[in-house]
Structure 1
Amino acid sequence: MQENQYIAIKKSPAINGKIAIQGSKNSALALVAAACLNDQLVQLNNVPDLRDFRLIEAMLTKVGILTYREGQGFYVDARLASDYVLDYALTADFRASYYFIAALLKKFKKVSLSYPGGDDFGSRPIDQHFKGMKKLGARIEEAGSHYTVYADNLVGTEFHFEVVTSGATINLMLIATLASGSTTLTNCASDPEVVDVANFLNLMGHHIVGAGTDTITITPNPQAATKEVKYTVIPDRLIAGSFLMLPGILGGEITVTNAIPEHLNSVLFALEDMGLEITRTDTGITARKVNAINGMRLVTGMYPLFATDLQQPLTALMLYANTPSSVQDNVYYNRFSHVEELAKMGVQLGRQNNIAFIHGNQYRDLVGDADVNCRDVRAGTCLLFAALGSTGETRLHDVKHLFRGYENLVGNLQSLGINIELREEAEAQFSYY
């Protein structure tokens, strides 16, 4: 249904309200895969209801793994896994498909799947996954658009990541639980999502130490994974960080609940630097606009530095700053699809390689009527936020990308008094190209 919908955004008043932050998509994707390693039923709480999880349910059903939602729980039962081939079309459609390698290696000693898909903003190779798996003793056969991993005898090892990568850190951590002997990974990602998966594996009975640092040691426990497990996914720090930017654009204040301030330090410091007042409490984080917004120079990096996923939403806030800003993305050099779309809204950003330049008070360039495309979830967030101060109606198309990351996005924003509406695409006289 999202294929035929678009979001209409009009100028909105100052906000004043609360939003409870959903569970982390990036963490939950890996945790569902980790749950497939357990030999008994797993209940995961706080799993967001997003498209990728429906793809996972369809993919796992085809190989005999049961998943279902009941109440607040997302349940995983992998005891009747029956096939090692993951549907090629489904695994090509989302990035996190490689997390399911470990579960099927445990059951069948082999797994076949497509190369991963997901948002398109530049090359995101999986060479570190392959190198790490080979170091553990796996054999990989590549065949066109898919590959097969064989693992008859995985042995603990030492592996150093050539680049810091969250996906490969998590994936090799999962696979290393199948090896005989300990594995030490160095130059690891330290993201909260990595820690979340390590905590879950420890709850299953394995011994993971060092998660959250650059060195992680995995000591498998052959007696692990024999009991039912319940676990709650951490809140989504990227969505929390995005929503906290809204008062800078609209004025007023917003409180996000079910968020962990320690996971948001880099974005909170940036918002304070730009002039927002940030209050951290035991029950939530409040952002309030008390002064004019200042521009800043932003450089992204791997956690705990400023997240690449938040540079596009923050670019929207920079349009409303009274002094110039710049954004340098050192993680994904081509994550600037929003620049071309902002031009359709009248905003001309300068760009040189992986740096975008934003003039002060550039929101004044926003046109009163525009149709724009959402190329990925964070670019869509940028366009939506930018449109909130436009004098006319902005129509955001390809919103399926936004709904890949946000649960009940339109409803949540409407609850804050934001003028936003989900409509059927047929109502819009619009051609994509």
Structure 2
Amino acid sequence: MSWVERLLVTGGTRLRGSIAISGAKNAILPLLAGSLLSERPVVLEGVPSLIDVKTMKDALESLGVKVNWTGDTMQIDPSSLRSLEVPPTLARRMRASNLVMGPLLGRCGRFKVSYPGGCTIGSRPMDLHLKGLRACGAVIDDDHGCITAEAAGLQGADIHLDFPSVGATENIMMAATLARGTTIIRNAAREPEIVELQNFLNKLGARIRGAGMDTIRIDGVKKLNQEIAHRVIPDRIETGTFMVAAAITRGEVLINNVIPEHVEAVTAKLREAGVSIKEEDDRIIVTAPSNWKAVDIRTMPFPGFPTDMQPQMMVFLALAQGTSIITENIFENRFRHVGELRRMGSQIRLEGRSAVITGIKDLTGTVVEATDLRAGAALVLGGLAAENTTIIEGVQHLDRGYENLESRLKMLGAQVSREII
């Protein structure tokens, strides 16, 4: 007999207090994949307890890697690597499963993976990943939903990405780490998670520079044999989500363990709307006004406004004074939450890749369904601000990217509970 979990969120409480941000989901996953390049044990600290992290752990163990996860510390011994194929059942559960391609090709000269799964927020083709690996000398077959690759020895190459894809940049970086010669990635992704991967690989013994800019240079080395411990950077999307939670409930929240520079685009838009935000080293204090004004947003690759914060900001702007326009430039299918927000009373009109949001006074609690990770976060935020109780189904999406979300919101005074039916 199967059961369903859902969240019950009763709105009307102003969030107050302090909260610490967890390790970054989008940083820990490539670090786990990158550990495959090492010949020595690796210790990762600040590891968030998320479904996606567990899936990546299972993927590593399916390859023969020994993993010990206690609390927020994970010990990885890649010396026992024996398989080069990720089981399809694991690959289909998570988009980031494709990140093992670069490390396996670089260290072992071949891999076999199924096309990955993950949130259905739009087309996320693998062509840029495969283009980069082919440029380094890999022979790749991607027929019948499965990708196989072989390379007698990878060779450095000059690679220009048609789009600054985060995953492609990471895969090429990892593959090139053990390639002969120098690899240049042009129009590379600039996200903080790219910088984090560079720092991690360099600790292991790689020679990479330029991460955070649009050109990255990787000078290949023969092996990575440094035994290291590394703490994961805080999650900038979780940071932004709690910032909006404080604002939309007209509360005041101190957010600890943050890197303010990583959320500058979110901070700028919240301030433009009228929210008071104070930055102090590794913490942010958010104080919300009684009312806020409409702003326009265009999602862009970093350092632009992150697509992963678009749904959360949409529900915030649904309660703004005036009309806002959000233009989604990254994923063509990332407005699936709009229908659910309309069920709560919001006035949102879709025009192609843009959403026109006419602010209203109040949202109304009802039954809604999370269709993906960030859509789920938006619905929780809506529930916190809504009259009455909101019932959110599909909470398994939230568990992929937010660690103990309901219990941490409760620490700030929110009325949130999880029930199994």
Q: Scaled by the length of structure 1, what TM-score is found?
A: 0.94
Displacement of 1:46 after TM fit?
1.0
Aligned to 2:407: 411
Aligned to 2:149: 149
RMSD value, Cα: 1.5
Query: How far apart are the structure 2 equivalents of 1:247 and 1:28?
Result: 26
- Single out whichever of 303-312 and 47-56 deviates more from structure 2: 47-56
* Aligned: 1:45 with 2:45: yes
Query: How far apart are the structure 1 equivalents of 2:52 and 2:37?
Result: 19
One-letter code aligned to 2:188: C
Aligned to 1:192: 192
Alpha-carbon distance change, 363 to 79 in structure 1, aligned in 2, over 3 angstroms: farther
Displacement of 1:145 after TM fit?
1.7
Query: How far apart are the structure 2 equivalents of 1:103 and 1:64?
Result: 14
Aligned to 1:279: 278
Q: Deviations over 1:17-39 (max 9, x none)?
A: 11100000001000011111110
Runs (4+) off by over 6 Å? none
Displacement of 1:57 after TM fit?
2.2
* Aligned: 1:375 with 2:371: yes
Aligned to 1:393: 389
Query: How far apart are the structure 1 equivalents of 2:251 and 2:267?
Result: 17
CA contact (8 A) 1:210 1:217 kept: yes
Query: How far apart are the structure 2 equivalents of 1:359 and 1:54?
Result: 40
CA contact (8 A) 2:166 2:191 kept: yes
Alpha-carbon distance change, 116 to 105 in structure 1, aligned in 2, over 3 angstroms: same
Displacement of 1:333 after TM fit?
2.2
Q: Scaled by the length of structure 2, what TM-score is found?
A: 0.97
CA contact (8 A) 1:162 1:187 kept: yes
Gaps of 5+ in 2: none
Query: How far apart are the structure 2 equivalents of 1:252 and 1:367?
Result: 19
CA contact (8 A) 1:277 1:288 kept: yes
Query: How far apart are the structure 2 equivalents of 1:387 and 1:83?
Result: 45
Displacement of 1:104 after TM fit?
2.4
Identity score, percent: 34
Aligned to 2:225: 226
Query: How far apart are the structure 2 equivalents of 1:327 and 1:2?
Result: 38
Query: How far apart are the structure 2 equivalents of 1:37 and 1:124?
Result: 25
Q: Deviations over 1:360-379 (max 9, x none)?
A: 2x243x334x1111001111
One-letter code aligned to 1:261: P
Q: Partner of 2:156: helix, strand, or coil? A: coil
Q: Partner of 1:49: helix, strand, or coil? A: coil
Query: How far apart are the structure 2 equivalents of 1:17 and 1:2?
Result: 37
Aligned to 1:5: 5
Q: Deviations over 1:326-351 (max 9, x none)?
A: 11011112200110111222323100
Alpha-carbon distance change, 163 to 387 in structure 1, aligned in 2, over 3 angstroms: same
Gaps of 5+ in 1: 427-433
Displacement of 1:71 after TM fit?
4.3
Displacement of 1:286 after TM fit?
0.6
How do residues 10-159 of structure 1 correspond to structure 2 at under 5 angstroms?
10-159=10-159
One-letter code aligned to 1:333: E
Aligned to 1:429: none
One-letter code aligned to 1:188: A
How do residues 320-331 of structure 1 correspond to structure 2 at under 5 angstroms?
320-331=319-330
Provide the aligned length of Structure 1 versus Structure 2: 421
Q: Deviations over 1:109-161 (max 9, x none)?
A: 21101111111011110100011111000011123121101111210010000
Q: Partner of 2:325: helix, strand, or coil? A: strand
